[in-house]
Amino acid sequence: MPVETKTTCPYCGVGCGVIATVNDDGIVSIRGDQDHPANFGRLCSKGSALAETIDLEGRILHPEINGKRATWDEALDLVASRFSDTIAEHGPDSVAFYVSGQLLTEDYYLANKLMKGFIGSANIDTNSRLCMSSSVAGHRRAFGADTVPGTYEDMELADLVILTGSNLAWCHPVLYQRLAAAKAARPEMKVVVIDPRRTMSADIADMHLAIRPDGDVALFTGLLAHLSGSPAVDHAFVEDHTVGFDAAMQAATEHSLPDIAEATGLTIAELIPFYELFERTEKTVTCYSQGVNQSQSGTDKVNAIINCHLATGRIGRPGMGPFSLTGQPNAMGGREVGGLANMLAAHMAIESAGDRDRVQRFWASPAIAEKPGLKAVDMFRAVADGRIKALWIMATNPVVSMPDAGAVEAAIKACPFVVVSDVMAKTDTARHAHVLLPSLGWGEKDGTVTNSERRISRQRGFLDTPGEAKADWWQMAEVGRRMGFGAAFAFRHASEIFAEHAALSGFENLGSRDFDISGVDPKVYDGMAPLQWPRPQAGDAGTTRFFEDGRFYHADGKARFIVTALPEVDRTSADYPLTLNTGRIRDQWHTMTRTGKSARLTAHIAEPFAELHPRDAQALGIESADLVELESPHGKVLLRALISERQARGSVFAPMHWNDQFASLARIDMVVAPVTDPYSGQPASKNTGVRARRF
Ligand code: SF4
């Protein structure tokens, strides 16, 4: 008899429900789960091809030490002793974990607990730093907590959906399908796409604003200024529930419309219709993703958007609100457990002595990190200069995905002790590991993930354990035990970790923190249906929106307007005259270690490419399908020329996915500058000055 398992897609932050069927012949088939409230049965190309990526080719099936097969005891003893010895000699800040939004919440929880509560350092950061940390920082500044107010349903209920810095059609395809269906059912709904490129998402747009790279702060500052004196401003809401409106509005109105046009690269004739559309449309949702977050002004972009929603009171109500779309399947879960170097577990603040004391008492831990740890870019700099002497990398491939990837690879190569936990044996990062630990993959492991609308779903195992692979949480629990922290890491099943995570979220909470799932009964874990947080009490809370009551999480209960200065955005020069913008393509995921296995997915776009405007290509003597060398001060890559009117003049787009297994000299992050946002530490992966030449 075929056996069906309800689980969750492991790719993007939409978090679609999947039904995996293991047929009598052992063949696995995949379909969308009609009952899952994220996708109602829909899947995109990547989700549909999941069964094509679960073979064991290329998997690591046994622990290895220095490239030789080892037992688990040998590997774990070595990891525990090297970390303990390094800490004893150089202190807790001499070690680090670099983890991932691909981890399940239970894995993430234990990594954070081990580092912050027992090792006593906050040197744990995650590839989610590259994904949505600017949203986290912007939310905390505006709301006093990292709260995503709305739900996917709000996009369908809105009369105006603004997509800024989001190629929803390719990066969150099922959400795009939902939006397109809602617009088809209600053609009066308006969609505005703000993006330097005319992406596929613009195909359903009523308006496409080809903004200059990083012009978003100026665009939304100009919108706030446009709202000055408008009846769209909700003065009662502003008065009762916010602080700082006058200062933000005064700063905004100091910029003239021609200044805004100059800063955005848009004409006044393009700006005014957009501003008037926002002004007259109460039910507006502004969705944003990496084009906003991956920027040196990412946090200010987030706050410039939120400012406009606060001014109009369009937040916390159906069909309204700013909406951060997370890239990864469990970036949100990582935020919940404190997986970022500057956060504590359960949305508590590492800067707060009260929160540190609370978490330490709950864990009964010997230590608690006293200060924020190193964020991703700084962490690898610390590896490079020898401050970090032992590094554990889990479920991520920084040698491909970090900016200035060549320098990151050199740092990892020079690090005295590197542990890598992964499913694939020969990733660009795994080949530099002293200890390589085989992890369970999708379909094998058990746990939970949280999607962009705060919905927690179960990932369930339905495949046999390959070789000696083990869950990531088990690996950390074993190392914690061997470092002498026994009782605190005596977990036998992921459900026990979830129960502790849920209990911590409610510990001395009293409504003072947004993240609270203490009402979820851990006994229902195996059969748990998708649920949205918060869930402080038992029972089905249905759809949840934050801020419906106008109460925010700053001490006075009020939201904050943030004054956002217009940033310097031009990173080009005479030597490097083009702006490089990196991003996803429709059918690949991250560094292709899984999706690269599917011939069907690879057929969509078979080679890494550099997308150029025809006039730029002509000026450079580059023709379609030529090989193009892109170069910055950090490195160079070789890509296939794709010449397209969709591309803005003066810019070049290249996909982030290719690693050296699939094409040599195609790691685009070799070229990307390691420039970061000053608040979030998120790298500016969409704005590096480069030059291009025909190869
Ligand atoms: Fe998976 Fe995202 Fe596609 Fe849904 S939209 S099937 S979560 S990749």
pLDDT band for position 663 (cuts 50, 70, 90): low
Given a cut of 90, whether residue 73 has pLDDT beyond it is yes
Question: How far, in Å, CA of 66 to CA of 299, rounded?
Answer: 41
For 394-403, give one letter per residue: b (16+ CB within 10 A) or e: bbbbbbbbbb
- Report the pLDDT value the prediction gives residue 629, as an integer from 0 to 100: 96
Looking at residue 435, what is its pLDDT? 98
β-pairing verdict for 447-450 and 455-459: antiparallel
The proportion of the chain whose per-residue pLDDT surpasses 90, expressed as a percent, equals 92
Res 662: pLDDT: 63
* Per-residue tokens: 585: 């393509």
The owner of tokens 């339905």 is 462
Pocket lining: 47 vs ligand 1, CB cutoff 6 Å: yes
Query: Over 90: is that where the pLDDT of 478 sits?
Result: yes
Instruction: Check pocket membership of 42 for ligand 1, CB cut-off 6 A.
Output: no
Q: Are strands 190-194 and 160-164 parallel, antiparallel or unpaired?
A: parallel
Cα(129) to centroid(ligand 1), Å = 21
Q: Is 149 in the pocket of ligand 1 (CB under 6 A)?
A: no
* 669 CB burial (10 A radius; 0-12, 13-18, 19+): buried
Assess: ipTM above 0.95: yes
Q: Is 14 in the pocket of ligand 1 (CB under 6 A)?
A: yes
Instruction: Give me the pLDDT at residue 331, please.
Output: 85
The number of the ligand 1 atom at minimal distance from the alpha carbon of 45 is: 3
Nearest CA to ligand 1 atom 2: 12
pLDDT at 466: 97
Measured CA to CA, the distance from residue 38 to residue 326 in angstroms comes to 14
- Count the neighbouring beta carbons within 10 Å of the beta carbon of residue 298: 34
pLDDT confidence of residue 589: 87
Tell the residue nearest (CA) to atom 3 of ligand 1.
44
Q: Are 473 and 106 in contact (CB under 8 A)?
A: yes
CA distances in angstroms from 49 to 10, 434, 467, listed in the order given: 12, 33, 24
Helix (H, G, I), strand (E, B) or coil at 355: helix
Tell me which H or E stretch contains 235. Answer: helix 235-241
| Max Cα distance, the chain (Å) | 71
pTM: 0.97
pLDDT in tens, 225-271: 999 999 999 999 999 999 999 999 999 999 999 999 999 999 999 99
Asked if 194 contacts 219 with a C-beta cutoff of 8 angstroms, the reply is yes
Q: Tell me, in angstroms, the distance from the centre of ligand 1 to residue 38's CA.
A: 10
DSSP SS3 for 510 = coil
The answer, yes or no, to whether residue 542 has pLDDT greater than 90, is: no
Q: Which two tokens stand for residue 18?
A: 């999947």
Is any atom of ligand 1 closer than 6 Å to the C-beta of 374?
Answer: no
The pLDDT value recorded for residue 290 is 95
Q: Does residue 54's CB lie within 6 angstroms of at least one atom of ligand 1?
A: no
Averaged pLDDT for residues 169-191: 97
| Ligand 1 within 6 A of CB of 170 | no
18, 168, 172: residue to mutate for ligand 1 pocket, most atoms within 8 A of CB: 172
Q: pLDDT-derived band of residue 511, with 50, 70 and 90 as boundaries?
A: confident
In whole angstroms, what is the distance from residue 496 CA to residue 356 CA? 23
Closest alpha carbon to 343 in 355, 327, 331, 326: 355
- In the block, which residue shows the tokens 């160079």? 636
Per-residue pLDDT at 75 exceeds 90: yes
CA distance 566 to 321: 23
> Which atom of ligand 1 approaches the CA of 15 most closely?
7
Q: Each residue of 603-646: pLDDT tens digit?
A: 899 899 999 999 999 999 999 999 999 999 999 999 999 999 99
Cβ contact 601:612 at 8 Å: no
The ligand 1 atom at the shortest distance from the C-alpha of residue 18 is 6
pLDDT, tens only, 189-228: 999 999 999 999 999 999 999 999 999 999 999 999 999 9
CA 301, CA 578: separation in Å to the nearest integer? 22
Span 541-545, mean pLDDT? 81
